Structure 1
Amino acid sequence: MSESIVTNKSYGYNSAKIWQIALFALNNTATNLYLFTLTFVSYYATGVAGLTVVVISTILTFMRVFDGITDPIIGFIIDKTESKFGKFRPIMIIGNIIIAGSILTMYNVTHQLPEEFQMIFFIAAYAVYIIGYTMQTAVTKAGQTVLTNHPKQRPLFSIFDSVYNIGVFTGGQIFVASYLIAKHGDFNMALFTELNTIVMIAAGVFTVLATIAIWNKDRKEYFGLADLTVNTRFRDYLPIFKANRPLQMLVIAASTDKVASLVMRQAPVMVMFFGIMLGDYALSGTISLITIVPGLIITFLGVMYARKSGMKNTLVKASWLGVISFGILIPFFLIIDPSIISLESMGGITIVFLILFSIGTGIGTLTPSIVIPMIADVSDYETFKTGRYVPGMIGTIFSFIDKMVSSLAPALVGFLVAIIGYKNEFPQLGETLTTPLLIMTLIIAFGIPILGWLISIIAMKFYILDKKKMNEIQSAIADEKQKSEEEEDEDEAMVW
């Protein structure tokens, strides 16, 4: 089939050009740029504005909860939006403008205020940022429904998104650490000004490109059943979630994977694994760079497999691969001396570790990327089942629960290390590797991801949206649309 905009009469496929998928993925990249730059906001708040570490930590935790609360509200607004500029484009652009304005205000005004007003102003500016951020990120999920419903195209979003995200988070970290810190000497106002200027310009350009990508798809004829769409109220959120089993299962699979991924990336876990167990904390950065290429290869192969066999099947097979790779690493580290792993003398043990670790971390990159287009499948299922076209509500139900569950990652790490006696502080660099510390490091670094993948596999057993079912759904929606159009033509003919 041509990659151009065509409709398959058999299944009702609405296809997109490859460049449209590639550019629409930049909408997620635009918001991730801001997410990246705000990983340094605590340095601004404590080093420039003068807020305390305890205060800023409390504020950022509270803002995480507020972020989840805004999701359902923004999702409802998206579903109710009807304008001559479409449903999604206005939300994307307004959201990006709000984000840029809040960042400018936050970084340029907070430290200028009297000390007694700084905290209140910072909270207000951050809250406004979250509203804009939620608006734009909600479109990333909801807009998938109109961009394409072709089973060989929806997974392609994952490739572009993964590549862009590596550029943002890995490339961005290198840019800050190797260039901006070297240029400005520290996290000072000059550094934040340069970083934020670059981010705002890049995010603005990416948003415009994403808007262009979805331009001719952001029309009513692509909105579910169009004129047949059932009216939905805000209080329908809970009934929709309770009645949509695929949504429930996808939320369980994705949120547990997210927790597993976030747990492994927590700073104390990196110290425990690389700094204490392997005895070389510098390996954490070097190995992160080494695993980029295998991660991209795994994502590419996974997406190609998803185009052929469906996203559900791919998520299950990838999860099993992750279970096997990390499952081997646990007894592997119980048998060997972890300190002999070194990049200076690449022995067989180091090579085996790099292969298995790269596979596991690559799967950790693939599975979240596959989930985003799967949300569009769930939205189409809701339209098929009830007649409702509510991609905003479906996407933000997913985001709300995902954020609430994933916010447990730091607490989970703290609880687990407390079990082995670290109640007042986390394990520190230079500590002796005791047996309890070794076992707990393996549990957190590998056991928790394995548990997340196993829960995903179980959840997918009750997720009915495989390739065959999605073909049935797209065909039924297309038939319903065609039937409606024929009835409208008959009504017009009778009037004349």
Structure 2
Amino acid sequence: MAKLVLEDAKYHRAKPWEIALFSMNNSASNLYLFAFGFLTYYATGVAGLTTLLVSSVLGMARLFDGIIDPTIGFIIDNFNTRWGKYRPIMLVSNIGLILSFLMIFNLHNLSGTAQTVMLFISLIFHKIVYSFQQTVTKAAQSALTNDPEQRPLFTLFDTVFSGIGVFSIGQYIVSNLLLPQYQNEYNGDFFTVFIPGICVVSLILTILAMIGLSRKDQTRYFGLGHEEDQKLSLRDVWSIVKGNRPLQILAVCGGFVKFVAQLIGDQTFLVLLFGIILADMQLVGQVSLYLIIPQFIMIAIFTRIAGKKGLKFTYQTSIILALAAWILMTVLFASTTDTTQLFSPAGFLAYCFLGLWICARIFSVYPTSIVLTMSADITDYETSRTGKYAAGVIGTIFSLTDSIASSLSPIVLGLVFAGIGYVDGFPQPNEPLNPALMQGGYMLLGIIIAVFVVTAILIRFYPLDPETMEEVQAKIAAKKAQKANETA
């Protein structure tokens, strides 16, 4: 009986449907991330901007976003209302995302300097409101549940709604349903249909996520459960960054993995890989459907393992498996005489590619989802260390490294394509393969492999294993008991 009381004092749990609905907040913001993969085609093909200009402005906007992210976290941690800490931010930021896309995807109505300036301003505004909603996904998980066996459930639901719903099914809808209606070109008519759909679905998902969080969005579930522990000073922020070693390691690893995930999800990368190297752009949509069942099975297995062996183990395993898949895919291309004939007809090597792409995609993206849950562990670690509830600041430290790393994605793509001769625009899906484009493909694959090698080394030093997290929750329970005795 004493042990049961201790466990109840240590853990507060959510209902599974609450976790499922709240995970849709990540899906809501990921819809905009998915749509962002098409921005370069709109900016160069519809608005008439150059490849290097678009890549540079995108990179600068993301870098600026990274710089202001800690400020956003500071605001969130010091914010609270009668309607909760997180839900008002979710709603207002999503409305802001709608306004940002109205500005971005009307650039074709401007010209010259005004067009470039509006692109930069609208991107900055977009990044600010996107960071607010994305930070809530990380920060609110510590309030939703602190049970180490329950927290991995978020990754399972997030995989269903984001990994499968947004990216896999979304890619199929674009490549196989929308794009063929517009002569396989990302033209103005395509974006007239695509962008409003993104905005409407994202708003609906945000409202559902607010419903899922409603019961736990109150002070008693924030840190030690007292209002005075919620206020942070700038000195507290510096102390967190300087003294929280798990945060330092995972933020860097998360940034590296985010760079790869954004790179391989960008339409220019997919056009190069599927539309040009494999000469079948519609294949990317079909493969997105092939991903659904294997992805769900693997994430379900990893979720179960994470509940037993910890989040670090599954994160580390996923990185190693992704690295192996990318290396083998590079070897497969190098050993194929004509990659454009790989699926004409589909033979053994074609099925090898499909298997490798599915593994590479699943294990490259999985860490970007599980890091959201791992940030809740780091928030609890900070509470056990200092007594402070700093979920917002910790969430935006991840956003900082995410933004810095992902700002390199459009820059790297722009430099690679400019380096092989595509200065004024990106290649279209129906462009024939040539040695320069194949060289660009190998360059991008080499970059991905190098990033995963570095990440695999760094994650070994992440200290929050299951035993450590048991100690963390015990310390928090003791601090809460002490606080209750002081106020009694």
User: What TM-score range do you get, normalising by the shorter chain?
Assistant: 0.7 to 0.9
**Which moves more between the two structures, 147-156 or 30-39?**
30-39
Paired position in structure 2 for 1:67: 65
**For residues 403-444 of structure 1, what are the alpha-carbon distances to aligned partners after superposition, in whole Å with 9 as ceiling and x for unaligned?**
1023223444566789xx83776999545559x957x74563
> In structure 2, do the counterparts of structure 1 residues 441 and 182 end up closer, same or farther at CA, with 3 Å as the change threshold?
closer
Native 8 Å contact 1:7 1:13 kept in 2: no
Aligned-partner Cα distance in 2 for 1:180–1:469:
49
1:160 paired with 2:185, answer no
Deviation at 1:240, TM superposition (A): 1.8
Q: Distance in 1 between matches of 2:379 and 2:93?
A: 22
CA distance in structure 2 between the partners assigned to 1:155 and 1:237 by the alignment = 27
Identify unmatched segments of 5+ residues in structure 2.
none
Deviations for 1:10-65, whole angstroms, at most 9, x for unmatched residues? 67111111111110011111122233344445566567667666655544333222
Provide structure 1 residue ranges, at least 5 long, that are not aligned to the other structure: 1-5, 490-496
Matched with 2:83 is: 85
**What's the CA shift for 1:358?**
2.1
CA distance in 2, matches of 1:41, 1:273: 18
TM-aligned CA distance change 1:36 to 1:422, over 3 Å:
closer
Residues 296, 362 of structure 1: 8 Å contact kept: no
Counterpart residue number, 2:407: 407
Task: Give the aligned residue type for 1:96.
Answer: N
Q: Any residues of structure 2 matched to 1:323-334 within 5 Å, and which?
A: 323-334=323-334
**What is the SS of the residue equivalent to 1:377?**
helix
**Are 2:404 and 1:422 equivalent residues in the alignment?**
no
Provide closer, same or farther for how the CA distance between residues 42 and 304 of structure 1 changes in structure 2, counting only shifts above 3 A. Answer: same
Q: Following TM superposition, by how much is the alpha carbon of 1:361 offset from its aligned partner in structure 2, in angstroms?
A: 2.0
Change (3 A) 1:34 1:55: same
Cα deviation, residue 343, structure 1: 3.9
Per the alignment, in what secondary structure is the counterpart of residue 218 of structure 1?
coil
Between the aligned partners of 2:195 and 2:413, the Cα distance in structure 1 is 31
Higher relative contact order (CA 8 A, sep 6+): 2
Query: What residue number does 2:134 align with?
Result: 137
**Alignment map for 1:48-447 (pairs within 5 Å):** 56-104=54-102, 117-165=114-162, 166-180=164-178, 192-227=191-226, 229=229, 231-265=231-265, 270=270, 273-274=273-274, 278=278, 283-335=283-335, 337=337, 339=339, 342-343=342-343, 345-412=345-412, 422=420, 429-433=431-435, 441-442=441-442, 444-445=444-445, 447=446
Once residues 339 and 47 of structure 2 are traced to their aligned partners in structure 1, the CA distance between those partners, rounded to angstroms, is: 42
Alpha-carbon distance in 2 for matches of 1:135, 1:29 = 14
How many residues align? The count is 478
**1:73 CA drift (Å):** 1.6
The separation in 1 between residues aligned to 2:124 and 2:143, in whole angstroms, is 30
In the alignment, the residues of structure 1 paired with residue 195 and residue 416 of structure 2 have an alpha-carbon distance, to the nearest angstrom, of: 37
Please say if residues 172 and 286 of structure 2, whose CA atoms lie closer than 8 Å, have aligned partners that are also in contact.
Answer: no
1:48-107: CA deviations, max 9, x gaps? 667666655544333222322331121111000122112111211121222223434555
Structure 1 pair 407–111 and aligned structure 2 pair: CA distance change class (3 A):
closer
Q: CA offset at residue 383 of structure 1? A: 1.0
Q: What TM-score does the superposition give when structure 1 sets the normalisation length?
A: 0.83
> Are the equivalent residues in 2 in contact too, given 1:162–1:365 (CA < 8 A)?
no
C-alpha distance in 2 between matches for 1:47 and 1:279: 21
Deviations 1:305-360 (A, max 9, x none): 11221100111122222333344444455555464973454433333333233222
387-396 or 162-171: bigger deviation: 162-171
In the superposition, the TM-score normalised over structure 2's length comes to 0.84
